[in-house]
Amino acid sequence: MKRFNSVACALSAMLGCGAFGNSGLAQKPILPDVAPIRNTHIKIIVTGTSFHHSGGAVSAADGGWVCKRLNELGGADGNTFELVNGGEHNFALVYSLKDLGGEGASGSVELSGWGWGYITTQYSGEDWDRNSGLIVALTDKAYAFIHNGWHDVRSKGNTGPQNVPSGRTSRHTIQEYGLHVTLPEEWTWRTSGFTFGWGDRTVAEWQTSDRSLWGGVVHSTSTETLTAEQFADRWETHTRGHPRVSHCRRISERKNPIQKVRTDDPGMWTAILREFEETYDGNALHFLMLFVVHGQHRLSVQIGCSERNWASLNERISQIARSVVYKGPARK
């Protein structure tokens, strides 16, 4: 059966205040699973932001790129897509694109409809030189839900794609150490009562409601002069020698991956971001580690998931890592 939304419902989802917002979700019954969609003519509404850059225009506002890509993806499934300006429709897609300057671009797409209201928000980042590449990448992620079907994140025993309860985010601050992290609003954030067993130097930890994605911050001090790279090397050496770790491999690294806002502090600071795969107590994990050294302060930020979920969560994990802002410890 085709599911249609009214224009009012679409506007509600776009504004982030629909029936399936964060506060209302917990009070709603669990929604039924949605099977993969096949052999269906699908009407879509597309809205979004656009930028003009030296590499060309990047735009989702007219929906042209989106509808073209969805028809390419849907052909094998017998699905066709039609762009409409209002009235009855099956899905609404809302694109948010952000110019990162020399770092390229990042963006997200919010998918709603099919009788659910809000379904999911997917994230990606592409090089501006690819022009429409960012929109194509985001559209591919949205179509994966149409192709695979999805289920309510609150349902148990289901391993298929999940919806995400809210598209809104919250900025969390560890004021004492000058670290800021932006996370989805509904994720659990703790600065006490820690459960991960990372030791008494833990200052924050977070996780999704289904515990598929997790992260945390550990702080320590030392009078020894180290760079972030040296700090990271020591962490790797210690981890590989841990009796419960049977495998630890560094996959990639990026130097100076975060922004330091306060520029008048004379203290030396460095940062490095590394990607790892690790087997701990027989569990295959995949995560990013952000190492920050500022004077005598050492901060390590870990964001990860199980290896089997990395393909679907790595863009989201990378976005969280890019959201980190460091200001330095509070001055006394």
What own/partner pairs with CB < 8 Å and gap ≥ 24 does 48-56 have?
Answer: 48/93, 48/94, 48/95, 48/96, 48/97, 48/109, 49/95, 49/96, 49/97, 50/97, 51/97, 51/99, 51/105, 53/99, 53/105, 53/128, 54/128, 55/128, 55/129, 55/130, 55/131, 56/128, 56/131
Burial of residue 258, with CB atoms counted within 10 A of its CB: 0-12 exposed, 13-18 middle, 19 or more buried: buried
- Confirm if 70 and 43 have CB atoms less than 8 A apart: no
Q: Which fold is adopted by the domain 7-148?
A: Rossmann fold (3.40.50)
Judge whether 14 and 47 are in contact, CB under 8 Å.
Answer: yes
Burial of 130 (0-12, 13-18, 19+ CB in 10 A): middle
DSSP-derived letter for residue 142 is H
Q: How far apart are CA 258 and CA 278, in angstroms?
A: 24
Q: Are 281 and 246 in contact (CB under 8 A)?
A: no
pLDDT for the residue numbered 249: 94
**What's the whole-model pTM score?**
0.53
Question: What pLDDT score was predicted for residue 124?
Answer: 67
Contact call for residues 321 and 273 (beta carbons, < 8 A)? yes
- Options 3.40.1000.10, 3.40.50.300, 3.20.20.70, 3.40.50.261; CATH of 169-326: 3.40.1000.10
pLDDT in tens, the chain (332 residues): 444 443 333 222 222 222 222 333 334 677 888 999 999 999 999 988 665 544 455 555 568 878 988 999 999 999 999 999 888 999 999 887 766 555 556 677 889 999 988 888 877 655 444 446 677 778 888 998 999 888 876 665 544 455 544 456 778 888 888 888 888 766 788 888 888 888 889 999 998 866 788 999 999 988 888 899 999 999 999 999 999 999 999 999 888 777 666 555 656 788 899 999 999 989 999 999 999 998 888 999 999 998 888 887 888 888 888 888 888 776 65
Rounded Cα distance, 306 and 120, in Å: 20
Domain chopping of the chain, boundaries: 7-148, 169-326
The answer to whether the CB of 321 falls within 8 A of the CB of 329 is: no
